Amino acid sequence: MPTQINVNGAMHSVDVDDDTPLLWVLRDVVGLTGTKFGCGVALCGACTVHIDGVPRRSCITTVGSIGNASIRTIETLDANPIGKALQKAWLDLEVVQCGYCQSGQLMSAAALLAGNPKPSDADIDTVMSGNICRCGTYGRIRSAIKQAANQLGSSQESA
Amino acid sequence: MFSHRSVATAALLLLSTNVTLADSSGESLRAPKAFDSVRNRTERSVALFTEAGKVLQHPRCLNCHPVERQPTQGDDLHPHMPPVHGGPENRGTKELPCTSCHGPHNTATLGTGLKSIPGSDPWALAPASMAWQGFSLGEICAQLKDPARNGNRTLAQIEEHLAKDHLVGWAWHPGEGRTPAPGTQQIFGELIAAWIKTGAHCPKP
Ligand code: FES
Ligand code: FES
């Protein structure tokens, strides 16, 4: 029987086995290829999505475990101010090199700022340590998260 | 360059490692009746706890009872990757909770090196007061009995927790690719019950 999943605010009926990793479903069934496969074993963070706001590794999250939860992927990162600020900072600082890890980096960064609007360097390093970048863009990622946090902070103050 | 001899030695080493692993995951946890012959009650109590210590000090248990607020992994207790923190409630931080990777059940991966990601509901680190890594069995025993460090539990509650708790029970069902704790949770619970009944005496620290 097909499973119903809520992805980026839209319901999708997916006819897959319950133990299929969400990453496969997103990419191959729903057609959202922004979320990447890196390692498949929860070690690299490339496949990070949000499930009810919590960052989750979609490569080891079975579709049968999701139920009615809302899945958010990189394709709707800019649907809220945090995502918009992160996108701008990423472009301003030219964070991306090859880009492969970056959708996972951005989803983790969005979860970080949602939980901690003013992260210190140590906070950023701890949370982002779960996302590997083979191109070594870590320094720029940290700067961009800080820029986004500052922008969000100052827009809140002026509001 | 590998000589035949070094390959043979490596194979032997591997064999002996496997034997050790099999020992620690098989029938090696003795039930309380094996200690009936220890006539002295205090000594029997210590012997029962020492047997239960094979579980308490097993890597499946020690990895989430670290002294630092970061878990370890594997049979060699190497640092957890990624280097996560227990956070304020031992469930990770809000930004990187344990549930990012650890779901309600062990999850098979499609990888070959890491065959499954452990899971249980809830998945959590032991509180700092219950750190065991680097502690002697006697020290762990004293800590288990101390309400200031054991979550304010009575001995009866400790028995209930160790014999029934879901996350404790995970140690015997750790998912493919991990050595389970020795014996069964049932025998472990019986050992703890018998230890308490004989006065809950501890090995020397
Ligand atoms: S692909 Fe999921 S963590 Fe690497
Ligand atoms: S930008 Fe290339 S892997 Fe991160």
Ligand 1 within 6 A of CB of A40: yes
CB-closest option in A48, A61, A115 to B103: A61
Work out the pLDDT band at A159, boundaries 50, 70, 90: low
Report the CATH number that the domain containing residue A154 is assigned in CATH.
Answer: 1.10.150.120
In a domain, B204, yes or no: no
Structural domain of B175:
4-87+127-197
| Cα dihedral across residues B65, B66, B69, B75: positive or negative | negative
Report the CATH number that the domain containing residue A20 is assigned in CATH.
Answer: 3.10.20.30
Ranges A41-55, B54-68, B82-96, B134-148: which has the least confidence: B82-96
- Gap from CA of A42 to ligand 1 centroid (Å): 5
In a domain, B150, yes or no: yes
DSSP assignment of A60-95, as one string? G-BGGGTTTPEEE-GGGGGGSHHHHHHHHHHHHTT-
Do residue A92 and residue A69 come from a single domain? Answer: no
| pLDDT mean over B186-201 | 98
User: Could A40 and B101 be called an inter-chain contact, meaning their C-beta atoms sit closer than 8 Å?
Assistant: no
Would you state the torsion angle of the CA atoms of residues A57, A60, A61, A64, taken in this order, to the nearest 10 degrees? 170
Work out the pLDDT band at A118, boundaries 50, 70, 90: very high
Distances in whole angstroms, Cα of residue B168 to Cα of each of B4, B60, B152, B185, B201: 44, 9, 18, 8, 22
Specify the pLDDT at position B112.
79
In the structure encoding, which two tokens stand for residue B90, read together?
A: 């031992």
Ligand 2 within 6 A of CB of A118: no
The pLDDT tens digits for A4-31 are: 999 999 999 999 999 999 999 999 999 9
| Ligand 2 mutation pick, A43, A98, A103, max ligand atoms within 8 A of CB | A98
User: Could B100 and A55 be called an inter-chain contact, meaning their C-beta atoms sit closer than 8 Å?
Assistant: yes
Average pLDDT, chain A: 95
The pLDDT tens digits for B61-78 are: 999 999 999 999 999 999
Residue closest to B142 by CA, chosen among B160, B125, B155, B128: B155
Work out the pLDDT band at B15, boundaries 50, 70, 90: very low
pTM, two decimals, is 0.84
Distances in whole angstroms, Cα of residue B96 to Cα of each of A45, A95, B30, B121: 11, 22, 40, 17
Do residue A64 and residue A105 come from a single domain? Answer: no
Provide the number of structural domains found in chain B.
1
Do residue A133 and residue A71 come from a single domain? Answer: no
Do residue A148 and residue A135 come from a single domain? Answer: yes
Do residue A96 and residue A136 come from a single domain? Answer: yes
Residues on A contacting B at a C-beta cutoff of 8 Å: 19, 21, 39-43, 45, 48, 54-57, 59-62, 65, 108, 111-112, 114-116, 123, 126-127, 129-130
Structural domain of A22:
3-76
Of A26, A42, A76, the residue at which a domain comes to its end is: A76
Assess whether pLDDT exceeds 90 at residue B7.
no
Ligand 2 within 6 A of CB of A70: no
Q: Which chain B residues contact residue A116 at CB under 8 A?
A: 94-95
Ligand 1 within 6 A of CB of A38: yes
Provide the number of structural domains found in chain A.
2
Residues on B contacting A at a C-beta cutoff of 8 Å: 81-85, 93-97, 99-101, 103-105, 107-111, 113-114, 117
Do residue A139 and residue A106 come from a single domain? Answer: yes
Ligand 1 within 6 A of CB of A141: no
N residues, chain A: 159
Of A19, A42, A76, the residue at which a domain comes to its end is: A76
**Ligand lying closest to the C-alpha of residue A48:** 1
Tokens 């034997």 belong to residue: B19
**Ligand lying closest to the C-alpha of residue A102:** 2
Backbone angles phi, psi at A21, to 5 degrees: -65, 140
Ligand 2 within 6 A of CB of A98: yes
Residue closest to A56 by CA, chosen among B175, B182, B136, B102: B102
Do residue A45 and residue A107 come from a single domain? Answer: no
Of A76, A101, A131, the residue at which a domain comes to its end is: A76
DSSP state for residue A19 in the 8-state scheme: T
In a domain, B177, yes or no: yes
Residue A47 C-alpha from the chain's centroid: 8
Q: Quick one: three-class SS letters along chain B?
A: CCCHHHHHHHHHHHHHHHHHHHHHHCCCCCCHHHHCCCCCHHHHHHHHHHHHHHHHCCHHHHCCCCCCCCCEECCCCEECCCCCCCCCCCCECCCCEHHHCCCCCCEECCCCCCCEECCCCCCCCCCHHHCCCCCCHHHHHHHHHCCCCCCCCCHHHHHHHHHHCHHHHHCCCCCCCCCCCCCCHHHHHHHHHHHHHCCCCCCCC
Assess whether pLDDT exceeds 70 at residue A96.
yes
Contact A142, A125 (CB under 8 A): yes
Prediction ipTM score: 0.85
CB-closest option in A40, A41, A57 to B100: A57
Do residue A61 and residue A88 come from a single domain? Answer: no
CB atoms within 10 A of CB B7: 10
**Ligand lying closest to the C-alpha of residue A45:** 1
Do residue A96 and residue A119 come from a single domain? Answer: yes
